[in-house]
Amino acid sequence: MTNAHSNTDFYAALPPFLKNAWEKAQFTEPTAIQQQATPFIMEGRDVLAEAPTGSGKTLAYLLPLLDKIDFNQKQVQIVILASSHELVMQIHQEVQKWTEGSNIKSTTLIGGANVKRQIEKLKKKPQVVIGTPGRVLELINQKKLKMHEVKTVVFDEGDQLLIPEHQDTIERIVKSTLRERQLLLFSATVSEHVQRKAKEMMDDPEIINVQQGEGNQPEVEHAYIPCEAREKVDTLRKVIHAIDGKALAFVRDVGNLQVMAEKLAYRGLSVAVLHGDTKKQDRAKAIQAFRSGEAPLLLATDVAGRGLDISDITHVIHVDVPDELDQYIHRSGRTGRLGSEQGTVLSLTTKEEEKELHKYAKKLNVPLHKKALYKGKLRDDSKQ
């Protein structure tokens, strides 16, 4: 879609602060999504991009946008919207990492946080604002966030932003900018609804679709262990003992998740827990325990697992196989991220779920390996 020449030139021509950050991150070459999106973003085109979780989407828009910032203009030039508190904080960490040594200022605007403090931060004239839609619109309406100089609006994980409950808010944010602004949408999955809604706001967008396994993505193995529903807790416990690594396990509903966590803790396993009702400080504690390795297992529901970016997750475990392929893709993308060697996606399947899983594997065109626990080790099951 793009010629590699323009990309090599782009990375060679990066300003010193970005070059330093690139070298510090020990990146050798841009990923597929970065290569494909960069030239269009540099040209000021609207972009609608779909690429797997963990393929380097954040940098795909951050690098060209940071490169385009006008240092002399002390006002907001880039607004990045994300649906969750965590995702906003993670993007902000990336922005801080990549703007080190430059005069670029950034700030976060998150619902639920102290609004007065956020207004004070806006007075310091940041060029980059990262926020949740509700709070961003609130500050636009209060005339505290001035959008007339904004050159680019980014929808990060756009499929979470263009859902009916955010729709109106997003449209009003976009309407508050000038006509010639640039709109960028990045997501692991882009439904027809999201594509249609995005196109209504965009001006002849460039559509980019990067498939799993394109470019320099780490290897991911998809596997399953057949078991009865009632055996799942114990199978999960044995799997955690058998693997040497960090496992993120997804459970369908909160009630089930709590029961599971209690049973595992009773059997002496250190478990961190995340669900939609987890309080902010408990959530931070759970993520910290998991990051540090104090808890080798993080049990989560889908809502709570969105936006989690922990680079060294070795295993994603579907305790309950999700009902939709998109969900399977999103969950599974939490392992085998850039910077890791490889990852394993393991499903604990009842007979019904096994059928569903085989369909997913076929659609994703990935081989599916049957596994068994043998003498405390997770092995390929040769009796297939």
Per-residue model confidence (pLDDT) at position 185:
95
Residue with token string 């640039």: 182
Higher pLDDT, 212 or 144: 144
Checking if the pLDDT of 295 tops 70, the result is yes
Return mean pLDDT, the chain.
85
Q: Which two tokens stand for residue 113?
A: 């946080």
Kindly report, residue by residue over 253-289, the tens digit of the pLDDT.
888 888 899 999 888 888 888 887 777 788 888 888 8
Interval 184-203 mean pLDDT:
90
Model pTM greater than 0.75?
no
pLDDT of 39 reads 86
What is the average pLDDT across 304-318?
74
Average of pLDDT values for 133-147? 94
Question: Considering the chain, what percentage of its residues have pLDDT values greater than 70?
Answer: 89
Res 2: pLDDT: 36
pLDDT of residue 341: 53
For the domain spanning 219-379, the CATH number is 3.40.50.300
pLDDT at residue 307, rounded to an integer: 59
**Architecture of the CATH domain 4-209:** 3-Layer(aba) Sandwich (3.40)
Report whether pLDDT(308) > 70: no
| Per-residue pLDDT at 7 exceeds 80 | no
CB 51 within 8 A of CB 101: no
The ranges assigned to domains in the chain are 4-209, 219-379
Q: What is the DSSP string of 251-292?
A: -S-HHHHHHHHHHHHHTT--EEEE-TT--HHHHHHHHHHHHH
b/e burial code for range 158-172 (CB count within 10 A of at least 16 → b): bbbbbeeebeebbee
